[in-house]
Amino acid sequence: MAGVNTRLRLRRLLGAAVRRTRRYLNEVATVGSDDPYARKFGHFGTGVALMAPQGVIYNERYLSIGDETLIGPNVCLTAGVSADQTMLTSPVVTIGKKCIIGRGSHIIGHWKIVLGDEIQTGPYVYITDQNHSYDDPNEPVGWQTPSEAAVSIGSGSWLGANVVILPGTVLGANTVVAAGAVVRGTFPDHVVLGGVPARVLRHYSAEHGWRSGAPGP
């Protein structure tokens, strides 16, 4: 029994030490605007925190992050498919001021993705401006030329956990997207979206306040 108690105490002490070390390392590895790595970005605003551990990040010169934005742990930010690729637009990915990007999210740009100011996302949100095409039925989908369409997300919006934003999506200001929704299309300001594919569940009218369904013509 004494041996068991000793092993339990040792495990607890070692566990506490590992957790303290992990917290310290993550704090040290968080990237701020004063860190040399921040200079690799096309724009890295003041007060930005790129929290550790970081996800896959490359082609930083095509990425723009606005002031006081918080990028959560394990977030992937990429432009193109390789670190040395020359892109046709710059910046490819723009994240506005005072945004919060939830842990494990992916923002994968090839042409143009623009997030406005004060946008928040839940964890594991996926945003991309490129998709596979399948026009040729005799060619494997993965080898066909992908299609691209710019993405824009209006300021003040909230994207719930596991939301997928597909190429060509345009969201208005202060949009709410329910968890798990798959979004494609153009939507006005002040709506709630949900479902697969996403549709307008509620909208705001200055005359009537919040109403069910999509706004009228």
pLDDT band of 215, cuts 50, 70, 90: confident
> What are the contacts of 31-37 at 24+ separation with CB within 8 A?
none
Decide: 176 and 154 in contact? Cβ < 8 Å.
Answer: no
Exactly one of 132, 190, 203, 208 is catalytic; name it: 132
Averaged pLDDT for residues 32-45: 96
Say whether pLDDT at 3 is over 80.
no
CA atoms 8, 13, 14, 20: torsion sign: positive
Tens digit of each residue's pLDDT (9 = 90 or more) over 57-97? 999 999 999 999 999 999 999 999 888 899 999 999 999 99
Tens digit of each residue's pLDDT (9 = 90 or more) over 132-159? 999 999 999 989 999 999 999 999 999 9
CA atoms 128, 87, 133, 144: torsion sign: negative
Q: What is the DSSP letter of 190?
A: S
190 is catalytic: no
pTM of the model: 0.91
Q: In CATH, what number does 33-212 get?
A: 2.160.10.10
Single out the residue of 178, 201, 206 nearest to residue 191, CA to CA: 201
Domain limits, the chain: 1-30, 33-212
Between CA 194 and CA 200 the distance in angstroms is 7
Single out the residue of 198, 155, 207 nearest to residue 177, CA to CA: 198
